[in-house]
Structure 1
Amino acid sequence: MDSNETIVTGQIVHLRKLSKKMMFVDIIANNDISDSQSEDNNCLRKNLVFKFWDLASCMWDKTNRGDDKLHHGDIVQFHGTWHKDLFSVRDYTFINKWSDISKDNTAFKPIPPINNKHKSTQESNIPCKYFVNTGKCETTNCAYLHETNSKKLKSSRNNYVQERIQRRILEHEIQFDDESISSEKNGLHPATKRCEEFTNWLVNQYGDDYLRSGIILDVAGGRGDLAFELAVKRGYNCQIVDPRPQKLKRWQVKLLKKNPDLKSPVHHTRMFDKDFFQNVNLDVKDVKLIIGMHPDEATECIIDIGLLYCIPVSFVPCCVFSALFPNRRLSSGDQPTSLPEFIQYLCEKSSNIQIKSLPFIGRNQVLFSMPNSNNFYKEGET
């Protein structure tokens, strides 16, 4: 324990989760809760922060999932250090959980901090982002504008969304060395175009002849948008692997009706595992590529089975699901809980896995291997 480390105890009255990197917690000593709505509210409160980049890799899961998840009303003992008026948490233990002390099982009503700022002319013209997004704001004496005119509110919401889109575009553009990516012709595409862009990239990367030489397996294909692009629009033998049945969109149904020669891709309604090929009576040698667009829990299966049978893979990871896979470990011994850590974990499985950024907004990094690598395993692996 750090010599400067101390302990603070109180009841959680407000939680603010900014991201997977930081979370703020406001507590009030249990015997002061009755006075928490007074003007001295901010004096009674203690402000705590979880800086997850400085904590053990399992701490984010602990605070947000499972039996140790923090809830409003919980009485908790926090261990950490003070930095001016802010307490940095290292770990915590429960004194009492709200679910145990609540008499009638009612939810604890959060107590947000009182905003003592007086509205200035300049501040009153700035829209409240909470009110713009949800139509309500729980901040007491909020210093920002709450527009009640429905037309102006709609306009504010549209402007807010466009500003966020522009910020995301700028964040994505730094992934590309080619300056022309920001031009109108070659710019970033919306997330709705991700399957089309992924298909274009697959054709350019692997070549038309190679993709037509066998079967492409689209793992966790969901509604089948990616397989539809490859099988129906491009004519490749792309088959879906997903326990959920395929659900075509209206425009896809119309396209198939107008073109009776076109057929929906084959759909295998089962899980993708090492016994998949035997269960569906499919020759492994006929499979030329395993792909996935945001395949969720099946992401690791794609690369593991590709490595097992020496089949090239190409997939775009999305969610980490670290709580579902607690045994994952980086070479450093840490558990991967963020997407960059998860991508690093997947790349550590083989030295032949490459990374490329695709030109669409959202999680757009594709991990892939090429068919000219006879052995996808790391040196020394068997």
Structure 2
Amino acid sequence: MADKRRFDLFADFLVERFSAPRVFDVAGGQGKLNEALTKRGRAVTTFDLRHKHLPVQYAQRIFTLEEPCEAELVVGMHPDGATRIIIQYAAAHRLPFAVVPCCSDNGMPYNPWMRHLAELARESGFTTVEEVKLSMDGRARVIVGEHGPATPATGA
């Protein structure tokens, strides 16, 4: 059974870790993470196909790499098949990401899936890729990817 505190615990982690004022919540279901982050002062847009959702900023569509970049952080709480797109989108726009995977989108067992996602992030150019565990029941491992500071170009 899923931990009912998961959205608040993940929101607390995100607010403590990232100063990002605008957040994309990908495959966010009813918008409970959005609601938790909004209460903590963040501007959040949730992307999902659900018709019934909380009264939060909600884009009722599938999140794609073509989505205009209007956020400083991309996140997902148990985003099922959208886990990879979160990492790919964040890499393409040099944004940090944090995702709590619950299952793979290809039937891969959980631990190999977590290793695969971390490797995907490294291969996508993230200089920091780490795993953090939230203090909750169920799938509580967060994969975080961040880019290091941009290095200035040197002239000859």
TM-score (ref. length: structure 2): 0.85
**For 1:364-379, what aligned pairs fall within 5 Å after superposition?**
364-370=140-146, 372-374=148-150
Counterpart CA distance in 2 for 1:245 and 1:350 is 31
Residues 1:355 and 2:135 are matched in the alignment: no
SS in 1 for 2:50: coil
Match of 1:271 in 2: 62
After superposition, where does 1:94-173 map in structure 2 within 5 Å?
A: none
Q: Deviations over 1:157-181 (max 9, x none)?
A: xxxxxxxx9xxxxxxxxxxxxxxxx
Report what 1:308 is aligned to: 92
Using the alignment, how far apart are the partners of 1:298 and 1:292 within structure 2?
8
Alignment of 1:172-183 (within 5 A): none
Q: How does 1:85-96 map to 2 (within 5 A)?
A: none
The 3 A distance-change label for structure 1 pair 350 and 299 is closer
Q: Counterparts in 2 of 1:309-324, with a 5 A limit?
A: 309-323=93-107
The answer to whether the 8 Å contact 2:121/2:145 transfers is no
Q: Counterpart amino acid of 1:357?
A: K
Query: Which stretches in structure 1 are left out of the alignment for 5+ residues?
Result: 1-164, 166-189, 249-263, 278-283, 324-336, 376-382
Q: Which has the larger radius of gyration?
A: 1
> 1:374 Cα shift?
4.1
Q: 1:196 to 1:313 in 2, by over 3 A?
A: same
Quickly say closer, same or farther: Cα 1:373–1:354, change in 2 above 3 A: farther
Query: Share of identical aligned residues, percent?
Result: 28
Conservation of the 8 A alpha-carbon contact between 1:354 and 1:367: yes
d(CA) in 2 for partners of 1:224, 1:311: 21
> Given that residues 25 and 75 in structure 2 are in contact (C-alpha distance below 8 angstroms), is that contact kept between their aligned partners in structure 1?
yes
Q: Which amino acid aligns with 2:45?
A: Q
The alpha-carbon deviation at position 246 of structure 1 amounts to 4.3
User: Over aligned residue pairs, what C-alpha RMSD do you find?
Assistant: 2.0
Shift of 1:372: 4.1
Secondary structure, in 3 states, of the residue corresponding to 2:11? helix
**Could you say which residue in structure 2 is the equivalent of 1:221?**
28
Q: Does residue 194 of the first structure (1) align with residue 6 of the second (2)?
A: yes
Shift of 1:373: 4.6
1:236 aligns with 2:10: no
Select which of 109, 112, 120 maps to 1:341. 112
Structure 2 counterparts to residues 71-86 of structure 1, below 5 A: none
- In 1, Cα distance between the equivalents of 2:23 and 2:41? 11
Larger RCO (CA under 8 A, 6+ residues apart): 2
CA offset at residue 235 of structure 1? 2.5
Question: Are the aligned partners of 1:246 and 1:267 in contact in 2 as well (CA < 8 Å)?
Answer: no
